[in-house]
Amino acid sequence: MHATRRYTEAMPGGHVVAKIDFSNAFNSLRRDLILRSVADKIPGIYRWCHMSYNQSSVLQFEDRTILPHDGPHQGDPSGLLLFCLSIHPHLMQLKSELVSGFMDDLPLDGPTDVVTADIDLIRDGQKPYWPAYHCS
């Protein structure tokens, strides 16, 4: 937040700030991609994550059964880590001068054309990597 504030205070003409807020971010990530990210970056916890996420959960609501197959489990303390780990390689592809994501909020700052191109990259590559988002 402070980096974004400093950037906007000294922002030259022709630059913009776009704040992307991912909708239903955690539940939008495919579990196979979460597991792939864990295997690549933190293999020491892969077996635990695989045990937790290799199959759909079974949720009961009254007489209905729901089989969620996306995102970390509700209330999983590692959910934030799994989310950030999964989108980090894609954040690294962005070209904006300042990419300062915090959980599912992603400010992009830089020249208008570069920020626009990054938003297009997110929009075009939204699934399976990027959750749904709103941009302001």
Q: Over the Cα atoms of the chain, what is R_g?
A: 17
Q: Are strands 132-135 and 105-111 parallel, antiparallel or unpaired?
A: unpaired
What is the C-alpha to C-alpha distance for residues 97 and 15, in angstroms, rounded to an integer? 10
Ordered per-residue pLDDT tens for the chain, 136 residues:
777 778 788 888 899 988 887 776 676 777 888 889 999 999 999 999 998 888 766 667 788 766 666 667 667 788 888 888 888 888 888 999 988 877 778 889 999 999 999 988 887 765 545 555 545 4
Please say whether the beta carbons of 9 and 24 come within 8 A.
no
pTM of the model: 0.69
- pLDDT score, position 128: 47
Give the C-alpha separation, 55 to 131, whole Å: 20
Tokens of 88: 């980090």
Tokens in use for 6?
């400093």
Q: Give the residue carrying structure tokens 């990027």.
A: 130
Measured between alpha carbons, how far is 38 from 33 in angstroms, rounded to an integer? Answer: 9
